[in-house]
C-alpha cells in the first residue's frame, strides 16, 4: 500500500548539547516520508518557497518519494529555530517563521485521491479535515497534532478525531487534551472521541498503544548518544504507518509491531541531526533493533 502524507517541509536551525545546524532539512512531512520510505511508497503534499534548496528536493526524490503534491511557491520556506537542553525530551522554540506555510491550503493531486493510507502530520486540524474531504475512501487515517491546536482549535480537532482511525500524540498533549495525567484514563477518553487506537509517545520512556480491549507498551530503544531529537515523533509515525502499509494488515498484532517499528526508526533518527542518520540507514538495521527491543522486554 502506498501512503499519502500531508504536513510541513521546513528548514530547521537547531542547537543541542552536541552541536548545531543552520537551515537543515526538516518538517513533519519530511521526517515522516523518509522514515516510511523504508517500508513503502510515499506521496507527499506540502509547500516550500522558491528558496528551498534543490539538493533537499533531490534527496527526497532519490529516496523514491513522490513530490507531485509538493508546491514550490513564491516566497520563503517555513523556518523553525529550536534548542534542546538537559534530558532532551523538550524542545524550546526560539523562532518560527511560517512564511509560505502560513497560507498552506493542501491541494491533493487527482492521482493521490485514491490512496488508502493517509497520515495527517501536525497541521491545523481544519486543514487536516480539508485533506480528508479530498480523499475518496481511505482505509486508514492516522493523525498527529500539537499543543497549539489543542489550545486554540479544540473544536476542530474533536471534529477531526471522529474521522481518525489511529491518533498519535505525546504524553503532554494527551494530558492537555483530556485534563488527565493518568495515561489509561486519558486514552479511554480519547478513544471515546472517535479513534480506534491511540498511541501515546513518551520520549525516552517509550510509547503506549491503547484500543478497545487493547493495551501495549514499547520501551524506547536505549541510546547513549542523542544528537538531535527533532523529528523523533514524525519518524516514529513514519515507521509506524510505513510498516502497516507494507504489511497490509490492521490486526492487533500488526499494530503492535508497527509501534515497535516506529520506536526503532525514531531511535535511529535522533542519532543524527536532520536526516543524517536516516540517510545512512538500511532496512536490515531496523530489523536488528526490532529484535533487540524484543530481547529487552522478554523474561
Exactly one of 25, 45, 88, 266 binds its own copies (CB under 8 A); that residue is 88
As measured in angstroms, the least distance from the Cβ of 193 to its own copies is: 18
Q: Does the footprint of its own copies cover residue 299 (CB under 8 A)?
A: yes
Among 182, 192, 249, 279, binds its own copies (CB under 8 A): 182
Nearer to its own copies, 41 or 256 (CB): 256
SS3 string, the chain, reads CCEEEECCCEEEEEEECCEEEEEEEECHHHHHHHHHCCCCCEEEEEEEECCCCHHHHHHHHHCCCEEEEEEEECCCCEEEEEEECCCCCCEEEEEEECHHHHHCCCCCCHHHCCCCEEEECCCCHHHHHHHHHHCCCCCEEEEECCHHHHHHCHHHHHHHHCCCCEEEEEHHHHHHHHCCCCHHHHHHHHHCCCCCEEEEECHHHCEEEEECCEEEEECCCCCCCCCCCCCHHHHHHHHHHHHHHHHCCCCHHHHHHHHHHHHHHHHHHCCCCCCHHHHHCCHHHHHHHHHHHHHHHCC
Give residues 189-208 in contact with its own copies (rule: CB under 8 A): 202, 204-206
- Whole-number minimum distance, CB 16 to its own copies, in Å? 13
Interface residue with its own copies among 63, 217, 276, 285 (CB under 8 A) is 217
Interaction of residue 91 with its own copies, rule CB under 8 A = no
Residue 56 touching its own copies (CB under 8 A): no
- Distance separating alpha carbons of residues 264 and 86, to the nearest angstrom: 22
CB of 217 vs its own copies, minimal distance in Å: 4
Which listed residue (154, 162, 185, 248) binds its own copies by CB under 8 A?
185
CB 88 to its own copies: min, Å: 8
Q: Does 296 help bind its own copies (rule: CB under 8 A)?
A: yes
Q: How far is the CB of 135 from its own copies (least distance, A)?
A: 29
Q: What is the CA radius of gyration of the chain?
A: 18
Could you say which residues in the range 259-288 bind its own copies, by CB under 8 A? 259-260
The yes or no reply on residue 297 touching its own copies (CB under 8 A) is yes
| Site size with its own copies, rule: CB under 8 A | 33
Residues in contact with its own copies by CB under 8 A are 86-88, 175, 181-185, 188, 202, 204-206, 215-219, 222-224, 226, 253, 256-257, 259-260, 294, 296-299
Amino acid at each position: 500500500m502506498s501512503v499519502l502524507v500531508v504536513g510541513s517541509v521546513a528548514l530547521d536551525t537547531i542547537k543541542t548539547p552536541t552541536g548545531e545546524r543552520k537551515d537543515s532539512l526538516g518538517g513533519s512531512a519530511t521526517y515522516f516520508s523518509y522514515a516510511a520510505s523504508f517500508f513503502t511508497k510515499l506521496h507527499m503534499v506540502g509547500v516550500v518557497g522558491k528558496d528551498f534548496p534543490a539538493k533537499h528536493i533531490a534527496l527526497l526524490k532519490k529516496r523514491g518519494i513522490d513530490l507531485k503534491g509538493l508546491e514550490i511557491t513564491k516566497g520563503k520556506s517555513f523556518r523553525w529555530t529550536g534548542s534542546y537542553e538537559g534530558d532532551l525530551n523538550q524542545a524550546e522554540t526560539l523562532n518560527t517563521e511560517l512564511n509560505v506555510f502560513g497560507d498552506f491550503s493542501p491541494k491533493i493531486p487527482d492521482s493521490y485521491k485514491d490512496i488508502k493510507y493517509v497520515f495527517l502530520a501536525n497541521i491545523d486540524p481544519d486543514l487536516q479535515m480539508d485533506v480528508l474531504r479530498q480523499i475518496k475512501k481511505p482505509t486508514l487515517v492516522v493523525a498527529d497534532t500539537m499543543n497549539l491546536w489543542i489550545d486554540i482549535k479544540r473544536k476542530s480537532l474533536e471534529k477531526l478525531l471522529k474521522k481518525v482511525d489511529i491518533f498519535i500524540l505525546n504524553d503532554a498533549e494527551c494530558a492537555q487534551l483530556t485534563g488527565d495525567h493518568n495515561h489509561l484514563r486519558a486514552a479511554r477518553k480519547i478513544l471515546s472521541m472517535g479513534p480506534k487506537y491511540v498511541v501515546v509517545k513518551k520520549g525516552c520512556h517509550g510509547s503506549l498503544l491503547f484500543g478497545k480491549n487493547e493495551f501495549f507498551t514499547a520501551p524506547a530503544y536505549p541510546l547513549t548518544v542523542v544528537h538531535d531529537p527533532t523529528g523523533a515523533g514524525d519518524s516514529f509515525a513514519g515507521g509506524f504507518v510505513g510498516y502497516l502499509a507494507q504489511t497490509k494488515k490492521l490486526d492487533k498484532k500488526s499494530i503492535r509491531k508497527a509501534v515497535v517499528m516506529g520506536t526503532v526508526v525514531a531511535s535511529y533518527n535522533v542519532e543524527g541531526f536532520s536526516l543524517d542518520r536516516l540517510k545512512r540507514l538500511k532496512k536490515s538495521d531496523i530489523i536488528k533493533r526490532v529484535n533487540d527491543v524484543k530481547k529487552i522486554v522478554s523474561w
